[in-house]
Chain A
Amino acid sequence: MSLDHPVAPAGDVVSTTSPAGATTAPRSTTEVPVPREPRRRTLRHRLSRLDVQLSPYLYISPFFILFLVVGLFPLIYTGYVSVHQWSLIGGQGEFVGLENYRAVFEDRYFWRALRNTFSIFVLSSVPQVCIAMVLAGLLDTQLRGRTFWRMGILVPFVVAPAAVTLIFGNLFGDRYGLVNDALGLVGIDAIAWHVDTFASHIAIASMVNWRWTGYNALILLAAMQAVPRDLYESAAIDGAGKIRQFLSVTVPMIRPTIIFVIITTTIGGLQIFTEARLFDNVGLGGSDRQWQTVTLYLWEIGWRVRNLGMASAVAWLLFLFIVAVALLNLVLTRRIGGGSR
């Protein structure tokens, strides 16, 4: 960390010598040249010192001030709103303690949303990370036209989730969708993607997978390229095939990056909103909330039911849920990785 190699002292040295116009004189940290204009020099010296001491805080303060106002404060204030009656129209009401949380826990749609979120998350994150690993492995070879392949798999990333959802909503159409047409060709009956719970989860997960797999593959690829090549050579000498090399050399070597990808995928996957909202033209997650995610539930409570207090309780619970799943993930990946060693 070069935080330990500061340049600030250099500034101090400079301010003791150069203001007197003695730039050509040999510089030394101990020797103090005789000042010709003592008063001006001290003033300049002081200003320079002030500059050195205050500048860092000046540079970081815009970020911290803005971030505190629009990032951290709202997160904490959510807790305050969640223990009050708070309507979208009427504003703050009286303090109700944990009443909003009780209301959330007693709403069966909350539990359904939690189940949907978890199911969509698993369906999207597991295949996504696995496919991204394979894709990165394919790219981690002496390919011709590397840039073409890398850019090619990143195309989905530039399509906004809203557009992705509209396109996939059409592909997964219940009556005339291309996916059902294709299934029909191999003799499978049409699937009611917008009715059946599990089918709708697969459709939504496929949108997430489509948009993010290439992106994650590039992150994994970057880590793979840092693996020393001679490890593969010695593995090959030991008689390991390509797949064996991938499992025994590549995967353990890039474990920290895999964990990073899994954690970011988790944080994103548990907050899926756009895909669920736009999957049909009603936007509430299905007639029986088959694919309503927790974020969509939060929005319905806050802006349809117009109960911001209860919606804030949902936000806090979702936050805790995300932290819990992320930690669980971390423990699991650590253990699995450690066991294979």
Chain B
Amino acid sequence: MTRRPGFLVYGLLTAFIIGSTAPLYWSLLVGSHTKDVVTRDVPPLLPGGHFFDNAQRVFETVEFWKALGNSLLVSTVCATSVVFFCTLAGYAFAKLRFRGSAPLMIFVVATLAVPTQLGVIPLFIQMAKLGWTGHLWAIMVPMLVTAFGVFFMRQYLVDAIPDELIEAARVDGCSMIRTFWNVAVPAARPAAAILWLFTFMTVWTDFFWPMIALPATNPTVQIALQQLQSGYYVDYSLVLAGAVLSTIPLLVLFVLTGRQLVAGIMQGAVKG
């Protein structure tokens, strides 16, 4: 109890929290007033009553519903696929013995440090040849597995499953895949939830690749946002109302699962 924090610590932390949320609040302020708000001498302190008008204009200006649907679909498919394949591979690396497992794992770790985004050009050439550019497949395929996912699941499963449990399942006559299903999958659930969340957020917030691979008529949320400000004159009430709208889904997810997200970041750090 020697380290009970004083007023100073709480004060500084409060300042940090205010700083962390103020830009979002500002976005809501501008997005809920008419567009002349930006030029006022004294900025408003409270949200105005025009948010729904501005939101309406967002939906009229760009295909925001379609973008929301696209982002939701792409993020969900990728997150689910990453969790499935990376849990399988992570389990194999954590708990099964096979030739080449150590060097293959080192390979996975090494690729963590390689910025694979730099492969966008061949990826684009490939997709164009397959005729996938413009289709959501082009966005999903590169994100169906991640090296981070394998690494993360392996680190978790190494400690989460006692070897005796696997042996017991084998003694009971379970095949390898049944053992995986009955022993590893239940044990992996907490880490799988975190990995799902992370992957969902990564895909949802990605901008570079969707901008290259998708046409303006079939955007994700982030691309729709860009379209809002691409005119000659930038209407900030419109743009920032869009910014708020695009953030709401993740904010909801954050309110529901923020605890797990915090735990996941801290857990990954200790083990990584």
Q: Which residues of A contact B (CB under 8 A)?
A: 1-3, 5-8, 10-11, 14, 18-19, 23, 27, 48, 51-53, 55-57, 59-60, 62-64, 66-67, 70-75, 77-78, 80-81, 91, 135, 138-139, 141-143, 147, 149-164, 166-171, 173, 176, 178, 181, 210, 214-215, 218-223, 226, 232-233, 236, 257, 260, 263, 267, 271, 273-274, 277-278, 281, 283, 295, 299, 302-303, 308, 311-312, 315-316, 318-319, 322, 326
Contacts and interface: CB of A to CB of B under 8 A. Distances in A.
Contact of B262 (A3, A11, A150, A271): A150
Contacts of A316: 118
A142 B122 contact: no
18 contacts: A14-B170, A19-B173, A55-B177, A59-B88, A59-B91, A71-B111, A71-B116, A72-B111, A78-B121, A147-B259, A151-B258, A153-B17, A159-B247, A160-B204, A163-B246, A167-B24, A222-B267, A311-B121
A73 B118 CA distance: 11
Contacts of A163: 27, 222, 225, 243, 246-247
A267 B113 contact: yes
A178 B26 contact: yes
Interface string B23-35: 1101100100000
B24 A155 contact: yes
B173 A160 contact: no
B93 A319 contact: no
Given A150-B262, A167-B23, A308 B3 contact: no
A142 B1 contact: yes
A172 B187 CA distance: 48
Interface in B182-206: 201, 204-205
B226 interface: yes
Contacts of A236: 2
Contacts of A176: 38-39
B114 to A, nearest CB: 7
A58 to B, nearest CB: 8
Contacts of B234: 281
B202 to A, nearest CB: 10
Contact of A63 (B9, B86, B259, B261): B86
Given A163-B247, A166-B225, A281-B234, A158 B253 contact: yes
A56 B101 contact: yes
B121 to A, nearest CB: 5
A60 B1 contact: no
A75 B21 CA distance: 38
Interface size class of B (residues with CB under 8 A): 35 or more
B231 to A, nearest CB: 7
Nearest to B105: A3
A305 to B, nearest CB: 13
Given A155-B254, A162-B207, A315 B121 contact: yes
Residue among B23, B30, B114, B201 having the largest count of chain A Cβ atoms under 10 Å: B23
B98 A14 contact: no
A274 B211 CA distance: 10
The B contact surface, by secondary structure, is helix
B236 A170 contact: yes
Interface string B3-19: 11100011011001101
Residue among A51, A81, A151, A233 having the largest count of chain B Cβ atoms under 10 Å: A151
A171 B26 contact: yes
Contacts of B102: 3
B23 A164 contact: yes
B208 interface: yes
Closest 3 CB pairs of A and B: A74-B119, A6-B97, A160-B205
B238 to A, nearest CB: 10
Contacts of A141: 3-5, 9
Interface string B86-121: 101101111111100110110000010111111111
Contacts of A281: 229-232, 234
Contacts of B265: 154, 215, 218-219, 222
Nearest to A148: B17
Contacts of B211: 277
Nearest to B5: A141
B62 interface: no
Contacts of B212: 299, 303
